[in-house]
């Protein structure tokens, strides 16, 4: 029997070391997993410096922030909503995605109102159809501005 820090057996010393070693293994495993997850969703600084809107990427949801001339731009690896008929992932400005979603919400609202107008009688039907047509024209200009200023390739 050995007395060590108030414990009377060698087995107790062995158990204490084993418990500490087991905890350390769990901590190391957790940290390793966390680092692996972080490294798969972030982009290296060398890659980030080359990122522009429309450039292909491989991991959906990956994020990157690029600082050019003091201006930070945040990108996400996703499909560019302003490009029709193209499948695949590209680096897309976050503002492109959020502004496009807001404009799509307005488009859905106009479409819903247009279907309600069809049930109206004249002259209200003509009046509201004209107002919605004006709203649609303005919204089309908004889509064009978003496409040009936030979603175009090379931004």
| pTM confidence score | 0.62
pLDDT for the residue 155: 76
Report the 10 Å Cβ neighbour count for 102.
Answer: 12
Which tens digits make up the pLDDT trace of 89-145? 989 999 999 999 999 999 999 999 988 888 888 888 888 889 899 999 999 999 999
pLDDT for the residue 31: 45
Domain positions in the chain: 1-41, 48-151
Strand order in the sheet with 90-93: 63-68, 71-78, 90-93
Query: Is-contact 111 101, C-beta < 8 A?
Result: no
Distance CA 75, CA 53 (A): 8
Mean pLDDT (the chain) is: 75
The candidate with the shortest Cα–Cα distance to 51, out of 11, 90, 103, 8, is 90
Q: E-assigned strands of 69-128?
A: 71-78, 90-93
- Does residue 32 have a pLDDT over 60? no
pLDDT-derived band of residue 45, with 50, 70 and 90 as boundaries?
very low
Distance CA 147, CA 153 (A): 9
pLDDT for the residue 120: 83
pLDDT for the residue 84: 80
């Amino acid at each position: 029997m050995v007395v060590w820090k108030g414990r009377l057996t060698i087995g107790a010393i062995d158990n204490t070391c084993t418990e500490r070693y087991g905890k350390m293994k769990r901590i190391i495993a957790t940290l390793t997993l966390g680092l692996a997850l972080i490294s798969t969703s972030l982009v290296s600084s060398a890659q980030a410096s080359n990122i522009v809107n429309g450039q292909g990427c491989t991991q959906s949801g990956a994020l990157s922030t690029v600082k050019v001339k003091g201006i930070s731009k945040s990108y996400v690896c996703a499909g560019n909503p302003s490009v029709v008929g193209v499948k695949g992932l590209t680096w897309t400005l976050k503002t492109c995605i959020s502004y496009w979603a807001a404009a799509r919400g307005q488009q859905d609202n106009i479409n819903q109102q247009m279907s309600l107008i069809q049930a109206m009688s004249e002259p209200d039907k003509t009046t509201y159809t004209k107002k919605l047509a004006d709203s649609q024209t303005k919204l089309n200009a908004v889509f064009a501005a978003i496409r040009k200023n936030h979603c175009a390739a090379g931004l």
